[in-house]
Amino acid sequence: MTTLIVGASGATGRLLIKQLLNADEKVKIIVRSADTFYSVLPDEIRQDNRLIITEANLLNMTNAELENQVQGCRAVVSCLGHNLSLKGMFGHPRRLVTNAVQRLCQAIEKTAPSLKETPVKFILMNTTGNQNKHDDEKVSTSQALVVTMIRVFLPPHADNEAAAEFLQTRILGNHNQIEWVVVRPDSLTDETSVTEYDVFTSPIRSAIFDAGKTSRINVAHFMSQLVSNVETWNKWKAKMPVIYNVSR
Ligand SMILES: NC(=O)c1ccc[n+]([C@@H]2O[C@H](COP(=O)([O-])OP(=O)(O)OC[C@H]3O[C@@H](n4cnc5c(N)ncnc54)[C@H](OP(=O)(O)O)[C@@H]3O)[C@@H](O)[C@H]2O)c1
């Protein structure tokens, strides 16, 4: 089975490639610079012939090119995020994640068979700072105020919210071709191996005033479980699970 990852050159995306290859999945990725990507990739992954790399700027790809990418994939994962630079945060594309999610879903709708039994899984890496309003999640007034300011002054946050909103409102339960999960980690950290983690339906702490930790490798592990494990998928589909490391 094949999974397409976008944002695969990022800190979490790279870890997801490894997790999926370890689970004997085939992986397709689209990266802006294959050279930069190769320079950070361990040899054993670079030489793995189950990994297919396309060098392209995702949002500049034509519809036909995107359709070609998603064709035959049983899962599509977005680990996209705005680079932490002035250009990445405030320049274009302001709607990197949302536009990518919308266009990839359109490409799936164009190419995937319309069979309720075999929908394509769409997994979006998002953030606990994004409140699931459709599930009636509540936050304190002070958190709502801070998030409103973040939304106004930090375009990537509004982009993350809009991308999740698109899946929630456009890809509904009766969609025959696509099912989705929006994965919400808290503050991301880097660890070398998978550790114990908990997954909740909604945040159990304030993303602003009492943020927890989630290691990228645990996010990658959970997303690979969503791809390859039917029970994990059925438990979380059409939800926005929140993932935290278990602190010891
Ligand atoms: N930082 C946190 O504590 C935190 C907490 C919760 C959630 N999140 C969310 O987690 C997600 C991923 O985090 P991460 O740290 O793994 O991300 P990351 O290392 O910054 O990776 C971002 C990925 O997006 C790609 N990208 C950026 N701008 C692009 C563009 N204009 N066109 C195409 N691709 C582009 C990058 O490609 P290049 O390699 O080509 O630049 C890279 O593959 C983000 O959505 C972030 O909001 C972050």
Q: Measuring CA to CA, which residue among 178, 165, 163, 173 is closest to residue 122? A: 178
Can you give the pLDDT at residue 164?
A: 98
From ligand 1's centre to the CA of 105, what distance in Å?
19
**Assigned token pair, 95:** 């709607």
The one-letter amino acid code at 78 reads S
Can you give the pLDDT at residue 142?
A: 95
55: domain range? 2-245
89 lines ligand 1 (CB under 6 A): no
Q: Give me the sign of the Cα torsion angle 26, 30, 121, 21.
A: positive
Can you give the pLDDT at residue 41?
A: 86
Can you give the pLDDT at residue 22?
A: 94
Q: At a CB cut-off of 8 Å and minimum separation 6, what does 70 contact?
A: 4, 76, 104, 107, 108, 111, 112, 120
CATH classification of the domain holding 132? 3.40.50.720
Can you give the pLDDT at residue 113?
A: 83
For ligand 1, pick from 29, 30, 32, 197 the residue to mutate: most ligand atoms within 8 Å of CB.
32
Give the pTM: 0.97
From ligand 1's centre to the CA of 33, what distance in Å?
14
Residue 191 to residue 170: CA distance in whole angstroms: 35
Can you give the pLDDT at residue 43?
A: 85
Element (H, E) at 170: helix 155-170
**What are the angstrom distances between the C-alpha of 106 and each of 66, 69, 115?**
9, 12, 16
Residue 24 to residue 10: CA distance in whole angstroms: 21
Q: Domains in the chain: how many in total?
A: 1
For ligand 1, pick from 5, 9, 14, 244 the residue to mutate: most ligand atoms within 8 Å of CB.
9
**Assigned token pair, 83:** 């680079």
**Number of other CB atoms surrounding residue 131 within 10 Å:** 21
Please list the pLDDT of the chain residue by residue as tens digits (248 residues): 999 999 999 999 999 999 999 999 999 999 999 999 888 888 888 889 999 999 999 999 999 999 999 999 999 999 999 998 989 999 899 999 999 999 999 999 999 887 777 899 999 999 999 999 899 999 999 999 999 999 989 999 999 999 999 999 999 888 889 999 999 999 999 999 999 999 999 999 999 999 999 999 999 999 999 999 999 999 999 999 999 999 86
From ligand 1's centre to the CA of 195, what distance in Å?
22
Residue 109 to residue 236: CA distance in whole angstroms: 22
